[in-house]
Amino acid sequence: GQCRVVCPTGALMIKKDIDRAYEALQDRNKRVIAQIAPAVRVAIGEEFGMEPGAITTGKIVAALRKLGFDQIFDTAVGADLTVIEEAEELMERIQNREQQAKKGKPQAQFPLFSSCCPAWFKYAEQKHPDLMGHVSSCRSPQQMFGVVIKEEFKKLYKNDDKENVVIAIMPCTAKKFEAARPENSNNGIRDVDMVITTQELAIMIQQSGIVFGELEDEALDMPFGFTSGAGVIFGVSGGVSEAVLRYYFKEKNAATLQNISYSGVRGMEGVKEASVEIDGRNVRIGVVHGLKNAESLIKKIEKGEERFDFVEVMACPGGCIGGAGQPIPQNSDVRKKRAKGIYKVDKASPIKRSEDNPAIEALYSGILISNREILHRHKHKK
């Protein structure tokens, strides 16, 4: 198919990142590992004449193998880690507040804000430094997975001296800056070495003469070959909240999952609200996409007009499916179709919840057993 990538601005940076990726792929001393973000699989097909929302996970894996990647994983695994860490952080916070209230102490008016969108994170840092104590300590799925891959591979390949290079395939240009932040490196080595956008991967596929539409589906690699639906819905606004709610509701039946999906977290409105009952308490969740919507919600919270326990913020329209690294043109119709694709992947997924992912269980009883703080921005007090 014909590649429709058009990039009037930033062309030089794109070339630089693509060239760096090719360089790593050609270097025999490097083991190149990919992680693919959820939103990429429902959009990249558009560059090759497919409908928005067409699910192409298996084709992306096949294309990455042809490009020379050694191991291919799904960022949804990183999202599963984020779900568990963020859900526990939120519950701890709610319980602390209840104890404070019992002692008659004034309670924080602010909710816990999500931290996985770097554009929102940077905005909060610059415009609302006073709110930073309320932004989740969780690192993003990209960064959690990057550090986990590096740690696991250090153990798996302790007898060879190949350098492990993690390349994240992202719908997002802000993820490039996130990966470069100093706190996302360990002794000068980045947890995620490079970020390639959906558009950039499409260019690489086209340049290499791979006929994307004709590729046969291939499977992800072990030891992280399993993904959950909860991890995949991170790609759409409301997905983080829905995934966290799945973690709280322990009844593992279809009706519970459906009730959560009806709670108000789904849909394309700029601001959504959901109230759910968890262990006898009413938990209020806000979901916003677009920084303008985030700003007006913050104002309302400050004035005391709204009260939330958790607020999910994504900077792009519709969440990551509408990211700036995704194929263009983008409009609400395209985004709706991509979102539909994401929910279809979830529906077809035999594992719905993050904690049911066997790759996650293995990590918590493996490298994370005494090292869970690597999933957090600051050393986690536990």
Residues forming the site for ligand SF4 (CB under 6 A): 117-119, 171-172, 174-175, 314-316, 319-320, 323
CB 79 within 8 A of CB 243: yes
Q: What minimum distance in Å lies between the beta carbon of 232 and ligand SF4?
A: 14
Q: What minimum distance in Å lies between the beta carbon of 138 and ligand SF4?
A: 14
Q: Give the C-alpha separation, 86 to 199, whole Å.
A: 30
Among 115, 136, 228, 354, the one annotated catalytic: 136
Q: What minimum distance in Å lies between the beta carbon of 20 and ligand SF4?
A: 20
Q: Toward ligand SF4, which CB reaches closer, 34 or 210? A: 34
Q: What minimum distance in Å lies between the beta carbon of 324 and ligand SF4?
A: 7
Among 114, 116, 263, 354, the one annotated catalytic: 116
**Nearest to residue 59, comparing CAs of 87, 40, 78, 80?**
40
- Helices of type H across the chain: 11-26, 57-67, 76-102, 118-127, 141-156, 174-180, 198-207, 229-232, 239-248, 254-260, 291-302, 332-348, 358-364
Q: Toward ligand SF4, which CB reaches closer, 225 or 270? A: 270
Q: What minimum distance in Å lies between the beta carbon of 323 and ligand SF4?
A: 3
* Other residues' Cβ atoms within 10 Å of the Cβ of residue 338: 29
Among 183, 252, 347, 361, the one annotated catalytic: 183
CB 74 within 8 A of CB 35: yes
Query: 229: Cβ–Cβ under 8 A, 6 or more apart, which residues?
Result: 345, 346, 347, 349, 351, 352, 353
**Is 89 designated active site?**
yes
Q: Toward ligand SF4, which CB reaches closer, 229 or 235? A: 235
Q: What minimum distance in Å lies between the beta carbon of 42 and ligand SF4?
A: 13
Three-class DSSP category at 276 = strand
Q: Toward ligand SF4, which CB reaches closer, 210 or 316? A: 316
**Is 116 designated active site?**
yes
Q: Toward ligand SF4, which CB reaches closer, 119 or 301? A: 119
Among 59, 150, 175, 176, the one annotated catalytic: 175
Q: What minimum distance in Å lies between the beta carbon of 85 and ligand SF4?
A: 17
**Is 125 designated active site?**
no
Q: Toward ligand SF4, which CB reaches closer, 143 or 164? A: 143
Cα dihedral value 352, 356, 357, 358, nearest 10: -150
State phi, psi for 4 to the nearest 5 degrees: -100, 15
Is it true that the peptide bond before 38 is cis, omega within 30 degrees of 0? Answer: no
**Is 117 designated active site?**
no
Only one residue has tokens 């390949």, namely: 157
Among 320, 349, 352, 354, the one annotated catalytic: 320
Q: Toward ligand SF4, which CB reaches closer, 31 or 176? A: 176
Q: What minimum distance in Å lies between the beta carbon of 325 and ligand SF4?
A: 7
Which whole-number Å values give the CA distances from 239 to 75, 246, 265, 268, 273, in the listed order?
Answer: 14, 11, 8, 12, 13
Among 47, 85, 89, 200, the one annotated catalytic: 89
- At position 349, the amino acid (one-letter code) is S
First CA to last CA distance, the chain? 52
- At position 320, the amino acid (one-letter code) is C
Among 46, 151, 178, 242, the one annotated catalytic: 178
**Is 269 designated active site?**
no
CB 325 within 8 A of CB 198: yes
CB 233 within 8 A of CB 343: yes
**Is 136 designated active site?**
yes
Three-class DSSP category at 275 = strand
Q: Toward ligand SF4, which CB reaches closer, 135 or 316? A: 316
Among 47, 85, 86, 242, the one annotated catalytic: 86
Catalytic residues: 86, 89, 116, 136, 175, 178, 183, 320
